[in-house]
Structure 1
Amino acid sequence: MDLYEHQARELFAHHGVAVPEAEVAATAREAREAAHRLGADDRGVVVKAQVKTGGRGKAGGVKRAADAAAAEITARQILGMDIKGHTVHTVMLAQPVDVEREFYVSYVLDRAAGRFTAIASAEGGMEIEEVAARRPEAVVRVPVDPAEGVTEAKAAEIAAAAGLPEDVAPVLRRLWRVLVDEDALLVEVNPLVRTREGAVLALDGKVTLDDNARFRQARWGEEHDTAGLDPLEAEAAAKGLGYVKLDGEVGVIGNGAGLVMSTLDVVAGCGARPANFLDIGGGASAQVMADGLALVLGDPAVKSVLVNVFGGITACDAVAEGIVRALDQVRLTKPLVVRLDGNNAALGRAVLDAHPHPLLDQRTTMDGAARRAAELAASAAVVA
């Protein structure tokens, strides 16, 4: 789960990382009032689009306003903008800072190595990607053992390797606490700055939380919203389904993340593009299957749907009952290919045979089912 910048800053402040005073506004009028409270009439204010993507500055989503009246006009210009497919629903107004130097720091999970990596540079800011491309030696990567964490010695090592001032090291330790205590997969600050007064502040922040840790992070519910999600992803989240929208034409449903990932690969190997990732889980009920199928069929980009289930905890007859229930609730206008194997597979196939549908096609192997779904999607695309 990605956080908005203002949410990330709240976490930073909670863990002792200094941030400029700021407020969030959903309307231009609210922006003017917030700017006034922040003292914009004396020193101006920065108006920043709140979207879960980078590149806001270059897209015109971050602007300086001279006073509260100008902040209202600027907010009106930014609200409603489309930035890389994300619509701006709120803006954050922050007190401006007299910056002396800009840095880049982050912690990110390295799944392959089973550890975290600290990434840092003494040249942060909007051009960090160009710095990394032109002079990769200016961006250092330091492995962090999760069991050891970022101790004083490790923080000093990271700072020294990146050429960061010594007074940045304590901030590195606090950012590590954000990552650990909040169950984050990514914590990034760009830029982390030193002001002309000598303070070290986080001017921007990006945090990705681990959804698997939601059960022990009760307050996430207060911070989570679906405004930045694709509508289908938001609907899936409301139903507790593990759904990710992709850019293809074959809808994919399976039970278990590993099986779904394998199915995506097989579909791609058949010359088609998966339209989504949807895992109905290891113990999915018929209702879950019905909800998942209705969700995938609701995607206008989908030309065919492939249901690939290996029965274990989830019995295939329950999956078949879910498909039948979904077909009672949703008018099937796209080809549906079903492969059932494992626990009660024969019974599941019998359930589907007892409820025939002209657009439903059963196959006994994953390769055969994927190949058929790809063919049907291609045929539908030609007809369209």
Structure 2
Amino acid sequence: MSRLNGRRAEATAHGEKVNVAILGAGSIANTMATTLVKMAADERYAGWIHPYAVAARDYGRAEDFRAKYGFDKAYGSYEELAEDPMVDLVYIATPHNFHAEQAILCLKAGRNVLVEKAFTANTAQARELLAVADETGLLATEAIWTRYQPSRRIINELIASGELGDVRAVRAELSYEPHGRDRITNPDLAGGALLDVGVYSLNFIDMAVGADHGRSVARFDTTMVPFDTGVDASNSTTLVYDDGLMAVATSSRAAASDRSGVICGTKGYAVVDNINNPLHVDVYGLDHEPVRRIDMPAQLTGYEYEVAAAANAILDGRGECPEMPRADTLRIMELMDEIRGRWGLVYPFER
């Protein structure tokens, strides 16, 4: 058991903070580091969140990262990080195919984990990881930041209010330009648009009209266009829910898009400016004239919500976050497995 798990009152009394470490030193790790530094300087979080350590496979790289952000510790191996008893929460910031192995390493060493999306490469890995979390009594939660952000509640409240009428169709689009990084196109790294950005399209739909509203997917159709390596460059999936609502999720790493989400009802529709980090929602009437704009609360980077949720779960001794329970992670992982199954896309390590 980690040193702070289930010890909120004692930790508060002694002024102890949740020490957060980052496993990996790539681009997304830098975003998380920026978040932690901002949280440590913000009165809402400074009393209980501490940027503590970073690990990379090369000590020099880890030390450069530590110095850049002012962390306490740098480690040249993931094993050393996992063995540090002062680490309370490890953010896993490596490619998808490594998530299960590295999270299990941390859990078995007594460290709670916040695992970057996609949680794992497939459902079997996710179940194995969560089984270890059960055995150790530690937190293992997925870092789908949109699940933790206030935008989720605000969008759900809009739909529940009836302002849009009966919602019958949704589309969610998230695509980015190709950036040449190997993790996007390499099947050995579980590459492809689906696990990289398509996971956000599916999660947006799940929150906006799916499981958050008691609906279940009844059937789906899907297609993709591959990179030369065989993983999906672009894809589209049409979901039909048990009450007939239709949703279309598209994603690509071959071209940029507007990243919008559109929720269509019998009285009007709403346009979410960016399903990957909503800043505002525009509501329109049946005449296509704007009715109002809903702005989202100001944020540090948007990652602070998942860190705070994970830290709260640790202090309360919970093995999951209510914002991202295991059932939600597994449901989306199973859907992505089924989608890849329709495509015939199997990663080399799955064979």
Q: TM-score, normalised by structure 1?
A: 0.27
Structure with bigger gyration radius: 1
